[in-house]
Chains A and B, each alone.
Chain A
């Protein structure tokens, strides 16, 4: 089955700086890579996703890059703000079949220092 590794487990950055979270996956058949943000006491919420036919996707201050050859993908947050403080999860899945959904990384606790 798929295995997703996520690093770092905790990331502390100064407000206004950039943050980068990295994930690797093991199954070359995976072709869907979402990122979820979980605020304290809430369920995870999708913030951005990318499919394997695209190398990069941006949405305002958030971007995701995908390297299929190396089987890794990254989340980039620029101009970080206090409300970016949360736990972030990467995940990998296959849209062409198989119903067991997504495999999640263990999460990164992002702390934005004022």
Chain B
């Protein structure tokens, strides 16, 4: 199993540009989520999904959209990038929708918005 994969590893955007961060898992996990990691702030939940076709907002959802058309994929879209979205983004998945099971994290995408 590849586990959780994320692309790209690095990305530089100009303010106002849009892009999609890709995330895929091959473990047939129901629950997938996106976090951002900023220095001194830990991991903050952006959006999550408890299954295909179901998504919901986390702690810091503004400026981001998600969709879950298949069990395997959970892309994160930045509609109009802002410097405040400079961060490292992690996708994670876990077996159970209630989230109290081991979360498997991807390797991260480092995004810089200039």
Interface on A for B, CB 8 Å cutoff?
6, 9, 31-32, 34, 36, 41-46, 49, 89, 93-102, 104-107
Q: Which residues of A contact B48 (CB under 8 A)?
A: 99-101
Are B99 and A93 interface neighbours, CB within 8 A? Answer: yes
> How many chain B residues have a CB neighbour from A under 8 Å?
29
Q: Which 10 A-B pairs have the closest CB atoms?
A: A95-B100, A43-B105, A101-B99, A32-B100, A106-B42, A104-B43, A93-B100, A99-B50, A46-B102, A104-B42
- Measured in the bound complex, the distance between the Cα atoms of B88 and A107 in whole Å is 15
- From B40, B96, B97, B99, A102 is in contact (CB under 8 Å) with B99
Distance in angstroms between the alpha carbons of A39 and B42 in the assembled complex: 14
Q: Are A107 and B103 in contact (CB under 8 A)?
A: no
- Bitwise interface map of B from 76 to 109 toward A, beta carbon under 8 Å scored 1, else 0: 0000000000000010101011111111011110
Name B100's closest neighbour in chain A (CB-CB): A95
Q: Is the CB of A101 within 8 A of B31?
A: yes
Contacts of B96 in A (CB 8 A): 95
Q: Which of A32, A41, A44, A99 contacts B90 (CB 8 A)?
A: A44
Query: Using a CB-CB cutoff of 8 Å, which residues 23-46 of chain B contact chain A?
Result: 31, 33, 35, 40-45
Contact A99 B31 (CB under 8 A): yes
Can you spell out 20 A-B residue pairs with CB atoms less than 8 angstroms apart? A32-B100, A34-B103, A42-B108, A43-B4, A43-B92, A45-B105, A49-B102, A94-B100, A95-B96, A95-B99, A95-B100, A95-B101, A98-B99, A99-B48, A99-B50, A99-B98, A100-B58, A104-B42, A104-B43, A106-B41
